[in-house]
Amino acid sequence: MEVKYTNLDVIDPDDREFIFNKKKFFIPGDIPVKIMCDTLKCSQAVMNKPTDTILIDKFVIALWGILKIRQPDLKKEFMEKSGFKKLVALFSYIYGEITPEETLANIEKAKKTFTEKKNST
């Protein structure tokens, strides 16, 4: 009896190339799970507390981790000099689930909700 199998090793998405802050970058077509989970966790935390600078810093570090996969010499200062909207656009591009505009709208909504909750206590 012949055994059939599916070779999942053939799934190897190409790296993606883009320009961010006037510099060309590459990211893997398939981001390692640990880095992906860390970044998603940080983004959710920022959405829940959009004024928490410690969470925003963790979010920046998580995005930096993704870029460092293909640009290992990239300094954290490069990321810290980026505008927040550009970082949100980068996150949206990497995960490709929603547009940068939708992400920014969600952050503004989260800020408003957070402020309303804070003022009602």
> Residue 94 in contact with residue 66, Cβ under 8 Å?
yes
CA distance to 4, 6, per residue, from 1 (Å): 10, 17
Helix (H) or strand (E) holding 119: helix 100-120
pLDDT of amino acid 89: 84
Domain boundaries, the chain: 15-120
Rounded to an integer, the average pLDDT of 78-95 is 86
pLDDT band at 98 (very low <50, low <70, confident <90, very high): low
34-65 tens-digit pLDDT: 999 999 999 889 888 888 899 999 999 999 99
